[in-house]
Amino acid sequence: MITFVVRNRNNNFKNIKMALEITDANFDELVLKSDKPVLVDFWAAWCGPCRMVGPIVDEIHTEYEGKAIVGKVDVDANQEFAAKYGVRNIPTVLIFKNGEVVDKQVGVAPKNVYTGKIDAAI
């Protein structure tokens, strides 16, 4: 796991861990069989809006450690589950609980939108 340090608006530093890398090979184990809610960010490196959502997802991963699983699926390298869940636009964030999609956000949204969706699933 990679950890990096960021400075917030108040010039305070905090450690942020990068969200889990979810692939077609580990999706079943990390997402569908999880006993915790799971936030999955479907993204691609070439997608500008995805680069806006990425740091938000990384922060959420750090803040919800132990309470929820937070990860990212690169749709260019892992197309199976993006297709299975009808991901046609990115970024798309799906919230899973007990292996089922319980919420969805397409496009960029503020952090509180994503955390609200996770909180509702906890």
The catalytic site residues sit at 47, 50
Pairing of strands 38-43, 92-97: antiparallel
Contact 17, 3 (CB under 8 A): yes
Angle at 9 between CA 6 and CA 14, to 5 degrees: 30
Q: Rounded CA gap, 66 and 23, in Å?
A: 21
Give Dmax (Cα) for the chain: 42
SS3 of 105, please?
Answer: strand
Q: List residues bridging with 73 in a β-sheet.
A: 42
